[in-house]
Amino acid sequence: MTAGPSTPRDPRIPPPAVESVATVTTEPPPRGEDSPPIPGPQVLSGYLGGIPGDVLEVACGNGAHGAFFAPSLPETTWWPTDVTDERFSSVRAYAAETGNMREPHLLDVADQASWDAAPVAEGEAAAVVAINLLHISPWACTLGLVRGAAKLLRAGAPLIIYGPFKRGGVFSTESNREFDENLKGRNPEWGYRDVEAVEERAAEQGLALEKVHEMPANNLMLVFRKAV
């Protein structure tokens, strides 16, 4: 799916539908050229490659990202979750053909009781992954994510967050600012998060920001690590 804007964008053209993945209802999207763009496979593999354990994906959408990443991380078991089961038939179809990807579970990142019921045991997750969630959900979801991830991750394991962000309150491009405005127009609680604000709240939960990777289309991949 497309999470953020491409640069430059013709201002006469409305911003892309930010939840394009949400429009994929029950069928998995086609493979090959028509598949949604997958963010940063090499970056993710660099952190998870060869590491055994359970990877919890929150906000999995239609499951396409899990189905792409899981086979290249055969030592892991990939657990897709989302706040809604609207696209779970798609996720199930991916899981059925992906050996190390499990059936989807409901998980609301803003609800700690939901984390308590996560399919991965507390203190045992090899990683928690969130792709294209923070800008399109209330700030309470970011807070819930860092809190829940800190609880589930084992010592030294990463929380990996992908999406568009501000840095120091500044948008990287004008099109990013416009996109943020568009998001807030749809829901005043949505919008780009500041890397520094997320970093501060993650640190409060014992997750240190280790690396910020710049990704295509002005997206970032933030890698936090739970203290050993």
Give the interface with ligand SAM as residue ranges (CB under 6 A).
1, 19, 21-22, 58-61, 65, 82-84, 107-110, 131-133, 136-137, 141
CB 135 within 8 A of CB 163: yes
Q: What's the CA gap between 228 and 223, in Å, rounded?
A: 15
Instruction: Give the CB-nearest residue to ligand SAM.
Output: 61
Which residues in 41-59 are b (16+ Cβ under 10 Å) and which e?
A: eebbeebbeeeebbbbbbb
Given the complex with ligand SAM, which of 54 and 57 has the nearer CB atom?
57
Given the complex with ligand SAM, which of 52 and 103 has the nearer CB atom?
103
CB 54 to ligand SAM: min, Å: 17
Given the complex with ligand SAM, which of 72 and 156 has the nearer CB atom?
72
Query: What sign for the dihedral angle of Cα 93, 72, 131, 54?
Result: positive
CB 136 to ligand SAM: min, Å: 5
For the record, the structure tokens of 75 come out as: 């030592």
**Pairing of β 193-194 and β 125-131:** unpaired
CB 11 to ligand SAM: min, Å: 23
For the record, the structure tokens of 159 come out as: 């929380």
CB 227 to ligand SAM: min, Å: 25
For the record, the structure tokens of 169 come out as: 């309150």
CB 158 to ligand SAM: min, Å: 17
Given the complex with ligand SAM, which of 24 and 157 has the nearer CB atom?
24
Given the complex with ligand SAM, which of 85 and 122 has the nearer CB atom?
85
CB 122 to ligand SAM: min, Å: 18
Given the complex with ligand SAM, which of 110 and 157 has the nearer CB atom?
110
Name residues whose C-beta falls within 8 Å of residue 42's C-beta, 6 or more positions apart in sequence.
none
CB 178 within 8 A of CB 135: no
User: How would you class 2 by CB atoms within 10 Å of its CB: exposed for 0-12, middle for 13-18, buried for 19 or more?
Assistant: middle
